[in-house]
Structure 1
Amino acid sequence: MTSSESPRPSRADTPRYLPIAEHGLIGDMRTSALVGTNGTVDWYCCTRFDAPSVFAAILDADRGGSFELAPDVPARTKQFYFPDTNILITRFFAEHGVGEVQDFMPIVDDSREADRHRLIRRVLCVRGALPFTARVAPRFDYGRQTHAVRRRQGHTVFESPDLSLGLTSSVPVEIDGPDAWSSFKLHEGESAVFALDRIGDGVEPRACPVREAEEQFSATVRYWRGWLSQSRYRGRWREMVHRSALTLKLLTYAPTGAIVAAPTTSLPEQIGGERNWDYRYVWVRDAAFCIYALLRLGFTDEAKTFVHFLSGVICRNCGSVDVSVAGSGAGGGAEAGPGPGRGSPLQIMYRIDGRSELPESELPHLEGHLGSAPVRIGNNAVNQLQLDIYGALIDSLYLYDKWGEPLSSNEWDTIVDLVDWVCDNWDQPDEGIWETRGSTQKFLYSRLMCWVAIERAMRIAGHRGLPADMLRWGRARDTIYRRIMERGWSAERKAFVQHEGDDVLDAAVLMMPLAKFISPTDPKWLSTLDALGTDLVSDSLVYRYDPSRSPDGLRGEEGTFSICSFWYVEALSRAGRVDEARLAFEKMLTYANHLGLYAEEIGRTGEQIGNFPQAFTHLALISAAFNLDRALG
């Protein structure tokens, strides 16, 4: 993988914000951190993905908090992952020496040690000699809680009302107000170690000498390489596919098997704009893509664990909702119970432990990345009706039943309830896949995925001989099909369109052949593919839709959506336009950051924007690579 190289200016000249793409991700499958190419940890939530931040300089350079560690002289930097692992290495090239910082979180099976949430920063001088400076400046609870700093048995302890962290180091550390810092010099072959632990509740501060850091480094290398060796993928672009797989594993919450959409909140979709959302939760929509990618690559244990998480969530929620009651049509607010309005038995997203509460609020004391306010935590989209989630969920269970393990009788009973609800409610207007905060519409994609929900359930029932009202389900499935073909098709545009009553295009319809609703070589679909290529595609990059023609209730513009770009690749491939697909895919690879990571969107000049890295994008990359490689033969 190509590494990032950039000059490291003097501290006084350092820009307040690194670009989003100038970061790598590390983690322990409970939480994660972003490390910039300048050696600064400027995003870290302890003790889980959706916990309040400790370091959030990426959202506010002054009030967010950070952990700096870099040479105290000008230096060029390069950053890469230790091969086949999630250990991040940042190298510094200065006039009188070369050094590197190895950042990782040990993977620990013992539950008590897992609660330590250790972040290790191992710094080495590999040539010459270099002076280094470290500054640890936590700002607890998104910078809302004050903390005390004190020395305790050779450790530096940061204590806030809700969380305490212990810093150990192999070099002397001084206290400076609310921060701690260290200045030291290393000669060739010498190293220093910093370890930041969550302490309290039976977890005591523990030293991390150089030898222990080396042992934990080696153990972490063995873990990641052992996990990746399970991959069955042997096709083209294997390095990018495996980096995507490693990223998905980092975004997995080990205690439940849930996979977060992204490890960050409020990274802007437009610099200076308001499209800033919290993605540290589990979207039901991602389920089918997760299961498909994991099973295709051979990670059956991860797929099984995620299915069990989903099953637990849907059984818990459907058990307290009368799924036989049809919704009341277009509406707005949430009703009592676990789901959103209009009687939906499921929410579109959940917390990583399966809880349903995600109240959205703003943090006005944080300025946002490059001044992109507001900074939000929580997500009010949880109260929306998005009918497509039922197709995504049931498709994921269908895939697991086919390639993993047979579904249980309880899981089948729940599927029956959900499909019965879909049969009664598929024609409601909803907010759709893109979670618009404008008016509800009768979106084609929502009806497409309702068709998928019923069709996949019928496949399971037919294959397994399970009890189902096949006549009723078949009638609903066929009605949805005819409705899409009649009202979702625009004779004027010669394309399938975003929603009934208009002729605006939407990249979500790229899922029509991928979901096996329409043949990838059907004349109507080929005409749609051409229309999308003309209106929404720019140098392989695909816009979701045109906000000026399809108002979404928000101000400003947005970039191209990387998941849509990979959908476009797969649609071209399935349509037999393999050369076009391959060129579009190769172009998309040039838009990855130096580590092979993608944010949600790509800006006008090729910059990564939106929450980073995004699971959905990496899932789509895996699917596109798998299917394109197969088409190429």
Structure 2
Amino acid sequence: KPRITRRYRPNTLILETTFVTADGEATLIDFMPLRGQASHLVRLVVGKRGTVAMTTELIIRFDYGASVPWVRRADAGALLAISGPDMLILRTPIEVRGEELTTVGDFTVAAGETVPFVLTYSSSYTPAHLSVPDPIDPQDALRQTHEFWEDWVNTHQSKGAYAEAVSRSLITLKALTYDPTGGIVAAPTTSLPEWVGGPRNWDYRFCWLRDATLTLLAFMNSGYYDEACAWRDWLLRAAAGSPSQIQIMYGLAGEKRLPEWEVPWLSGYEGSKPVRIGNAASGQLQIDVFGEVMDALYHARVGGLQYLAEAWDFQRVLLSHLEKIWSLPDEGIWEVRGGRQHFTYSKVMAWVAFDRAIKTIEAFGLDGPLDHWRNLRAQIHAEVCEKAFNPALGAFVQAYGSQHLDASALLIPAVGFLPPEDARVRCTVEAIERKLVTDGFVLRYDTAATQDGLPPGEGAFLACSFWLADAYVLLGRGEDARMLFERLLSLRNDLGLLSEEYDPAAKRLLGNFPQAFSHIALVNTAHNLELAQKPCEQRSGNVSLAKAAE
């Protein structure tokens, strides 16, 4: 049995998998070149020592596994697999054959030899005079891809004790970005379960507005202003239009219709059904996104991103609509399917929306009903403090009148709703430590006690654990923050990647993978621990990006 190890080449997204056998050693180099006329996936099998016998198998299915393609040979030995509008082209010098609807081949690689495989996607209706996409030079593509990633990383090299983890997370976020629009996908997968065997399986191949502020801070504090600007511009385009029609998520190009349906012919990851395509949460009311948008655009201005005059007009219209709906119940940050409630975090972020508008006027001299917004801000603040704080529990709870805790309350000091020295903040953090921390990691809430419309059971939510570390920083518990952060770093897989959740009992990552929200949180918590300009202080209003840069 071969010994197998893998790694990313340092500062790149080029994957190397090494096989060591009794007869020799070979390395698989997998990468995706920057997109040109077509999309390519390249594999190079490189002989390092002796000889290694290899078998390749390629199973191609379209339409989420339902469609077996028509396979035929093209000129120059290319293999074409066609189904409806889609086509894949395999180019390799080895002899391949069909066996039971699978393309297979056997070959041996010796020291100093390289065997290339290039898989190319194209439309099947390419005009005849254009033929199939031209082949690429795999070695040249490898060189260009390596140079791209090294140049990108070295533009703003991460420093400090956690530089490697931060750099890998930033590379991951860059890879999750659709370059033509600047949209960042939450994860490139669908329906990897939050609990193995359970129904909490969602399609995350979309862009969430909720990620906006923390994404901007992660990029800007790392020096990647082009990416921050592209994300800001995507945000404005996607949310453009009537504020009553704003969605919590959009497609990578800003698509609005994301209907959810289940795939009955797929058994799901380790039997976890259903497999879902699309996401019905796109039609939910989640009032917190108004605060996220206002917060992101405020920090974009403070951070010095190019000013867009139309942005303020859009923000004013957004606030006019929020004034009408902030007092309504909604589905909340966790997108519950068990009915609307007056979720605490939603109300806090409504407060954030008006607070950031007020600060924008005060800092940049823009026009707006300043006194009116100040009154609304005070009204929301007073209501949350009265209805969301449970004196018996000594903590802010999940929703008005609730007896249950929610990890989103950890963000109350981070967004500036209350200062970290407020006793209610400290007591809420301590209550969450007692009730929602399991084996050292934070649950979103107790799924057995909370009616969220689904059966109980899920892992610890990694972003929430990073939020607890951030809360420790604000509370002056620096050593606790560092210890928790380093425990979280130990959960990364061998490539430095994180999913959405973690099962402490089974010691395995859960949920869609890799997860942008987890890596965004990792970057910001590392910056909270390492940088003078801490994102949690920037966001809460204790320090600005502009001041930190002085």
Shorter-chain TM-score bucket reads over 0.9
| Residue identity opposite 1:99 in structure 2 | A
Distance 2:107 2:355 in 1: 65
* 8 Å contact from structure 2 (residues 442, 462) kept in 1: yes
Question: How much has 1:538 moved relative to structure 2?
Answer: 2.5
Correspondence 1:284 to 2:209: yes
* 8 Å contact from structure 2 (residues 261, 278) kept in 1: yes
| Residue identity opposite 1:139 in structure 2 | R
* 8 Å contact from structure 2 (residues 448, 456) kept in 1: no
- Partner residue, 1:440: 340
**Structure 1 unmatched runs, 5+:** 1-73, 324-343
May I ask how many residue pairs the two structures share in their alignment?
Answer: 527
- Partner residue, 1:192: 115
Cα offsets for 1:363-392 (capped at 9, x unmatched): 000000011111000000111100000111
Higher mean C-alpha deviation, range 226-235 or range 460-469: 226-235
Question: How much has 1:177 moved relative to structure 2?
Answer: 5.0
* 8 Å contact from structure 1 (residues 578, 632) kept in 2: no
Correspondence 1:375 to 2:275: yes
Question: How much has 1:420 moved relative to structure 2?
Answer: 1.6
Distance 2:157 2:28 in 1: 32
* 8 Å contact from structure 2 (residues 57, 102) kept in 1: yes
RMSD, aligned CA: 1.5
- SS of corresponding position for 2:104: strand
Question: How much has 1:632 moved relative to structure 2?
Answer: 12
Correspondence 1:295 to 2:295: no
- Partner residue, 1:619: 520
Correspondence 1:507 to 2:407: yes
| Residue identity opposite 2:493 in structure 1 | N
Question: How much has 1:445 moved relative to structure 2?
Answer: 0.2
* 8 Å contact from structure 1 (residues 149, 178) kept in 2: no
Correspondence 1:132 to 2:54: yes
CA 1:631–1:559: 2 relative to 1, 3 Å: farther
- Partner residue, 2:176: 251
- Partner residue, 1:231: 156
Correspondence 1:565 to 2:488: no
CA 1:203–1:275: 2 relative to 1, 3 Å: farther
- Partner residue, 1:459: 359
Cα offsets for 1:256-305 (capped at 9, x unmatched): 11001100000011111110000000101011111111111011111111
- Partner residue, 2:142: 217
Question: How much has 1:574 moved relative to structure 2?
Answer: 1.1
* 8 Å contact from structure 1 (residues 314, 414) kept in 2: no
- SS of corresponding position for 2:195: coil
- Partner residue, 1:495: 395
| Residue identity opposite 1:96 in structure 2 | D
- Partner residue, 2:537: none
Higher mean C-alpha deviation, range 404-413 or range 556-565: 404-413
Question: How much has 1:424 moved relative to structure 2?
Answer: 2.1
CA 1:250–1:372: 2 relative to 1, 3 Å: same
Question: How much has 1:204 moved relative to structure 2?
Answer: 1.8
Question: How much has 1:631 moved relative to structure 2?
Answer: 7.0
- Partner residue, 2:39: 117
Question: How much has 1:235 moved relative to structure 2?
Answer: 2.5
* 8 Å contact from structure 1 (residues 168, 206) kept in 2: no
* 8 Å contact from structure 1 (residues 149, 179) kept in 2: no
| Residue identity opposite 1:204 in structure 2 | V
- Partner residue, 2:548: none
| Residue identity opposite 2:6 in structure 1 | Q
- SS of corresponding position for 1:91: strand
Correspondence 1:608 to 2:509: yes
Distance 1:345 1:158 in 2: 41
% identical aligned pairs: 39
- SS of corresponding position for 2:417: coil
* 8 Å contact from structure 1 (residues 304, 404) kept in 2: no
Distance 2:533 2:305 in 1: 30
Distance 2:500 2:508 in 1: 11
Cα offsets for 1:220-279 (capped at 9, x unmatched): 010001111122532220000010000000100111110011000000111111100000
| Residue identity opposite 2:529 in structure 1 | L
Question: How much has 1:146 moved relative to structure 2?
Answer: 2.8
* 8 Å contact from structure 2 (residues 60, 68) kept in 1: no
Structure (1 or 2) with the greater helix fraction: 2
- Partner residue, 1:309: 234
- Partner residue, 1:49: none
CA 1:631–1:467: 2 relative to 1, 3 Å: closer
- Partner residue, 2:88: 165
**Structure 2 unmatched runs, 5+:** 535-550
Q: What is the TM-score of this pair, normalised by structure 2?
A: 0.93
* 8 Å contact from structure 1 (residues 569, 584) kept in 2: yes
* 8 Å contact from structure 1 (residues 168, 194) kept in 2: yes
* 8 Å contact from structure 2 (residues 47, 114) kept in 1: yes
Question: How much has 1:608 moved relative to structure 2?
Answer: 0.6
